[in-house]
Amino acid sequence: MTVQIIEATAELRLDNGPLNLVDQTLLHSLDKALTHVEKQSGVRALVLHGGSGRAFCAGSDMRTFAGLGDSAAERKILFEDWVLRRLAALPFPTIAAVDGPALGGGLELALACDLRVVRAGVSLGLTESRIGGLAGNGALRLTRLIGPGRAKEMLFTGETISVDKALEWGLVNRLAAESALQEARELAAAIGGRGPLSNRLAKELVESALDSPLGAGLAKATVLQQRIFDSADLSAGVASFFDKRNAEFTGA
């Protein structure tokens, strides 16, 4: 795993062979990288990508399943869940830049990000049912994005879908003609120029919309809007609007 901080964007490059297979090495590297990024001040967006490998991530390394006892399997599942939860809970927008196939656990990594930018021609799928497995995190996050009917079809068949269909279904946010990484970088730069407190609270509200009854969500929205009205960022943004200049946000 390689970590770079470029201006306000943290870039995490998966680096686990040409297929970037999910194993304990990759998960521990990602966990360590997230800890590093969380300690950096000024990060306003994160891009996760597969580097120059043949795949963004082609799924789990099947060798890691061999000879696993019940306790070892439970530890593996719990740790993978922990890492994906950490990625999803980062307090700024996250983008998966997918320039190669994202299959099984690889698509689960992309689903744990807020946004997905995918290169044309790339295939996506939760393929676990082909070997009798189960996409735990992925099944839940996929259903949130594309609804139960389409999610069930993908899960039951284990088939891959085209990026065009994924875009139509809402699984993918943007289709890149040539480089998903370049487009994701441009998107991250645009996000980095917006109010970081605004984006953090917006992310929190969207999650509330999915998890809470409407009444509770609206009550929370009122509280968070009041927080924004009291923020230095909003004052800076309003002043920059009248001064016709870019705002200098601090996240406060």
Active site residues: 108, 128
SS3 42: coil
Cβ atoms < 10 Å from Cβ of 235: 13
E strands along the chain, which residues?
Answer: 2-6, 9-13, 45-49, 94-98, 102-103, 115-119, 123-125, 161-162, 174-176
Q: Tokens standing for 150? A: 């389409």
CB 220 within 8 Å of CB 74: no
- Own/partner contacts of 77-85, CB < 8 Å, gap of 24 or more, are 77/136, 79/24, 79/27, 79/31, 80/22, 80/27, 80/105, 80/137, 81/136, 81/137, 82/31, 83/27, 83/30, 83/31, 83/34, 84/108, 84/109, 84/112, 84/137, 85/112
